[in-house]
Chains A and B, each alone.
Chain A
Amino acid sequence: MRNQEIRTQRERHGRQAVAVLPIHYPKELLTALDLLAVELWGPPGPPRGDDAGRVQSYVCSVVRNALAFLAGGHADSVDGVLFPHTCDSIQQLATLATDLGGWTKPAFTFLHPRGADRPSARRFVEAELRRLAGTLEAFSGHALTEERLAAALALHREVDAARGALLDARARLPLDDTQLYALLRRGEWRWPADHLVELEAALATLAPEPVQRGVPVLVTGYVPEPAALLATLNGAGGYVAADDYAAVGRRVVRATPTPAADPWRALVDRYFAAPPCPTRGADTGVRMAHLAALAERSGARGVLVHVLKFCEPELFDVPAVKQAFASRGLPVLVLEGELEGALSGQAVTRLEAFGELLQGAPGAA
């Protein structure tokens, strides 16, 4: 499917494709320069091929799999790779793959400042955005005019608005979680304008009244993989009513009432308006308040913390999440896994037991 999209975009629109490692990156710049972003979240399954052993087994499967994937030639249909400065491991992957072998086509980096929204960080982000834009201009052969950037910003605002609306109206959306996330995750590789069309089509199906009958659950974590997790959650009587996945909810920037007229200024504002994410060094208190608000708005009765093994930024927040919701009386299930194709038997049992707990079994139907 992804390769098909890459071919189509190339043949019909002359767009090049750039593979992008998780998590946050200025997609607006790529769109503005007619570059198709194709995100690389793994891929699921064990790392395969000659390069599978180049990263130690105590490193997360995103990095291990990505290196094996890139070095194995499986991403050769793209023209370049962007490595955002997400964590120590992805940062090391960037230099490992590009400097010591694995990726020979163009490679780009994007450095995130950590911690609070400080004036120094704003200045740094703007300069870093301009630097990346310059490199991408040379790569794409297009000049990044203010018009192009403004148009891309407008498009991504619309995409985010539609994604946000779908998540906010979750209870009225007649899709199960597997279907919903398949839709949302197509945004990781489809051309944004085309993705917007399918998001709007889904919005048109919203029912006037809630149609979800399961127990509402808040999910926070890295990425909804393996997809079997969602089916198991639905089977156990729960559904994702509020989303704080790094891949999904944490990348939906809520609209500012009056965006800045200067597109660069607007881009920087959007960068800092994103929901709090541990990989960007978000303040724990701010993040917990954000999660609590999400839970409250959605009426969530339980919290699922779905973390990737060895993912330090996420793991560090687990005690705070537990504490925050314990004080609110919401049960929290921490589910740790790899990017496997299927869910482990133990994980299934935990999810089902969590479903039974939320429904007050035994006795309840």
Chain B
Amino acid sequence: MLRRARYELAGRAAFPILTALEAWQHRLKRSRKQPGGGPFGPPLESVRRLKELMAHHYFQGRYADGAVPVAWVTSGFPVEVLRALGFHTVYPENHAALCGVQRLTPEYSDVAEAAGYSRDLCSYVRTDLGSVLSSKTPVGRLPRPQLLACCTNICQTVLYWYRELSRHLGVPLVLVDTPFVHGTASAHQLAYVKEQLEELCLVAGRVSGKPLDAERLVEVTRTAREGSRLWGECLAASRARPAPWTGIDGFFHIAPIVALRGTEACNGYYRLLRDELEDRVARGVGGLKEEKHRLLWDNLPVWFAVRRFSTLLAERGFNFVSTSYTDAWAEAGVGIDPDDPIGSAARTYTHVILNQDLPNRLDILRRLSRDYAVDGAILHSDRSCKPYSIGQVDLRERLAAELGIRVLLLEADHNDPRSWAAEPGENRLAAFMEGFE
């Protein structure tokens, strides 16, 4: 009872908490205070609210265990069921990205490597397992889970990752396995996923100590769909010229749709953000002071160099106006249907970008390129993400040939700076930009 009250209190109180989020914003602000004000437009007002929202989420997490059921969840997991059961959800990917931004990956990865995990494994995994094994985290503390919830629609890696978490933490793992889609999903594929979702309702219900309330699931599904729609509207604001914010802003603003999908807090935030973006569009205010070139980004961000990249690009008038990564959460989530929460979730969560074949991926990149009128693209060839990266050599050629745009394949890693050759890498980026002039 007391714990529950403390959890609620932690959630409601508005504390000026030092979180990683603040660090991102601090850095961004600093870069905007360069002589002459730097290349960026005025900062977004909503950012303060985002900071509060995420700080609140992580802060509340500190008091979650014992108060509410806690689940650690993959980013592509059909979270609506857990949300309806009142789980506090922690996203290890989101947490790992946070560590990545703060360049904590080498330190945490060393711990994981010493435990026998190869450096060739995904850097999110090494960051997270290192954090778990050493109990270190930049967010104070993460609540221990009663349930690990893993969906293979973003990669098979998450299954191996969560299995190891399950081994280390001694916590049950619930798996939603979504076989890969070539063309369209077969009926038996969807039936299989649907059956697993039904199993999930029972298992998660047992862990939370109460059965799933069907009404509540309908409500959460409606909220989550609305959240994805709102997030899509925020992204779509960048179809305007100049784009009212930068692609890098988008990488950070993705946090609520990943970690708080299906909550009113998430939707409320995106309404605020959308309104601000639309207002900026109306007033002609851009993410950059001067937008000369518009780019598309494919694959995960390079978290440890996000600011560096954005500054390098912004200084020469380049902005990412669209990314396949941030788009994925707008694209998929709108397919869930309150009239059929389980069936529609099976279909929707099976058809996410990384669970589908390359022609589908090429279609998405083509569509984004046209919708956002980009004149170039950077495909991040990510050492740590095979499903997102294999095929990019061909995608690069096809995009360049079909759309007549410049496309750069840039090899890096989403979290581990040790896999990034800064000097030659930045040179390639500079040479790419010179090609536009």
Chain A residues near B (Cβ < 8 Å):
53-56, 58-59, 63, 85, 87-89, 91-96, 99-101, 109, 111-115, 118-121, 123-124, 127-128, 131, 278, 281, 283-285, 309-310, 312-313, 315-316, 318-320, 322-323, 336
Could you tell me the distance between the alpha carbons of A148 and B164 in the complex, rounded to whole angstroms?
42
Contact A85 B192 (CB under 8 A): no
Contact B182 A88 (CB under 8 A): no
Given contacts A56-B390, A92-B390, A113-B179, contact A319 B159 (CB under 8 A): no
Can you list 5 A-B contacts (CB < 8 A)? Answer: A95-B357, A96-B391, A123-B191, A131-B188, A281-B159
Contact B199 A118 (CB under 8 A): yes
Contact A316 B121 (CB under 8 A): yes
**B398: Cβ under 8 A from any A Cβ:** yes
Could you tell me the distance between the alpha carbons of A285 and B156 in the complex, rounded to whole angstroms?
19
Could you tell me the distance between the alpha carbons of A112 and B159 in the complex, rounded to whole angstroms?
14
Given contacts A121-B192, A315-B121, contact A278 B160 (CB under 8 A): yes
- CB-CB under 8 A from B189, the residues of chain A are 111, 124
Could you tell me the distance between the alpha carbons of A54 and B389 in the complex, rounded to whole angstroms?
11
Given contacts A120-B199, A316-B121, contact A99 B390 (CB under 8 A): no
Number of interface residues of B (CB under 8 A): 47
**B383: Cβ under 8 A from any A Cβ:** yes
Query: What residue in chain B is nearest A53 (Cβ atoms)?
Result: B393
Question: Given contacts A88-B156, A123-B188, could you give 9 more A-B pairs where the C-beta distance is less than 8 Å?
Answer: A53-B393, A54-B394, A55-B393, A87-B156, A118-B196, A285-B167, A310-B120, A320-B164, A322-B116
Query: What residue in chain B is nearest A64 (Cβ atoms)?
Result: B390
Given contacts A114-B152, A128-B188, A309-B120, contact A96 B358 (CB under 8 A): yes
**B163: Cβ under 8 A from any A Cβ:** yes
Query: What residue in chain A is nearest B199 (Cβ atoms)?
Result: A120
- CB-CB under 8 A from A283, the residues of chain B are 163
Could you tell me the distance between the alpha carbons of A283 and B391 in the complex, rounded to whole angstroms?
30
Contact B381 A99 (CB under 8 A): no
Contact A94 B120 (CB under 8 A): no
- CB-CB under 8 A from A119, the residues of chain B are 195
- CB-CB under 8 A from A101, the residues of chain B are 394
- B179: which of A54, A85, A100, A312 is its contact (CB, 8 Å)? A85
Contact B192 A120 (CB under 8 A): yes
Contact B359 A115 (CB under 8 A): no
**B180: Cβ under 8 A from any A Cβ:** yes
Contact A113 B192 (CB under 8 A): yes
Contact B390 A120 (CB under 8 A): no
Could you tell me the distance between the alpha carbons of A320 and B115 in the complex, rounded to whole angstroms?
10
Contact B381 A114 (CB under 8 A): no
Most buried by A among B157, B177, B389: B177
Most buried by B among A93, A94, A96, A336: A96
Interface of A is mostly: helix
Could you tell me the distance between the alpha carbons of A55 and B391 in the complex, rounded to whole angstroms?
7
Contact B116 A284 (CB under 8 A): no
Contact A124 B188 (CB under 8 A): yes
Contact A313 B160 (CB under 8 A): yes
Could you tell me the distance between the alpha carbons of A286 and B179 in the complex, rounded to whole angstroms?
23
- CB-CB under 8 A from A323, the residues of chain B are 116
**B411: Cβ under 8 A from any A Cβ:** yes
- CB-CB under 8 A from A113, the residues of chain B are 177, 179, 192
Given contacts A99-B358, A113-B179, A284-B167, contact A318 B156 (CB under 8 A): no
Given contacts A96-B391, A310-B120, contact A56 B381 (CB under 8 A): yes
**B175: Cβ under 8 A from any A Cβ:** yes
**B24: Cβ under 8 A from any A Cβ:** no
Given contacts A95-B358, A312-B386, contact A88 B192 (CB under 8 A): no
Could you tell me the distance between the alpha carbons of A63 and B393 in the complex, rounded to whole angstroms?
14
Could you tell me the distance between the alpha carbons of A278 and B121 in the complex, rounded to whole angstroms?
15
Contact B192 A92 (CB under 8 A): no
**Which chain B residues (387-437) contact chain A, with CB distance < 8 Å?**
387, 389-395, 398, 411
Query: What residue in chain A is nearest B115 (Cβ atoms)?
Result: A319
Query: What residue in chain A is nearest B156 (Cβ atoms)?
Result: A88
**B28: Cβ under 8 A from any A Cβ:** no
| Min distance, Cβ B96 to any Cβ of chain A, angstroms | 16
- CB-CB under 8 A from B160, the residues of chain A are 278, 281, 312-313, 316
- CB-CB under 8 A from B152, the residues of chain A are 114
Given contacts A88-B156, A91-B387, A322-B116, contact A100 B121 (CB under 8 A): no
Could you tell me the distance between the alpha carbons of A123 and B186 in the complex, rounded to whole angstroms?
13
- CB-CB under 8 A from B395, the residues of chain A are 100
Contact A99 B155 (CB under 8 A): no
- CB-CB under 8 A from B164, the residues of chain A are 284, 316, 319-320
- CB-CB under 8 A from B134, the residues of chain A are none
- CB-CB under 8 A from A94, the residues of chain B are 182
Contact B156 A312 (CB under 8 A): yes
Query: What residue in chain B is nearest A102 (Cβ atoms)?
Result: B394
- CB-CB under 8 A from B117, the residues of chain A are 315-316, 318-319
Given contacts A114-B177, A283-B163, A284-B167, contact A95 B391 (CB under 8 A): yes
- CB-CB under 8 A from B115, the residues of chain A are 319
Query: What residue in chain B is nearest A54 (Cβ atoms)?
Result: B393
Could you tell me the distance between the alpha carbons of A128 and B387 in the complex, rounded to whole angstroms?
23
Given contacts A284-B163, A312-B121, A322-B116, contact A55 B177 (CB under 8 A): no
Contact B118 A315 (CB under 8 A): yes
Contact B389 A315 (CB under 8 A): no
Could you tell me the distance between the alpha carbons of A185 and B133 in the complex, rounded to whole angstroms?
40
- B116: which of A88, A89, A131, A318 is its contact (CB, 8 Å)? A318
Contact A59 B386 (CB under 8 A): yes
Could you tell me the distance between the alpha carbons of A148 and B163 in the complex, rounded to whole angstroms?
39
Most buried by B among A91, A101, A131, A313: A91
| Min distance, Cβ B160 to any Cβ of chain A, angstroms | 4
Could you tell me the distance between the alpha carbons of A316 and B359 in the complex, rounded to whole angstroms?
30
- CB-CB under 8 A from B121, the residues of chain A are 312, 315-316
- CB-CB under 8 A from A93, the residues of chain B are 390
Could you tell me the distance between the alpha carbons of A310 and B179 in the complex, rounded to whole angstroms?
22
| Min distance, Cβ A279 to any Cβ of chain B, angstroms | 8
**Which chain B residues (155-195) contact chain A, with CB distance < 8 Å?**
155-157, 159-161, 163-164, 167, 175, 177, 179-180, 182, 186, 188-189, 191-192, 195
- B155: which of A88, A95, A96 is its contact (CB, 8 Å)? A88
Could you tell me the distance between the alpha carbons of A113 and B193 in the complex, rounded to whole angstroms?
10
Could you tell me the distance between the alpha carbons of A99 and B152 in the complex, rounded to whole angstroms?
22
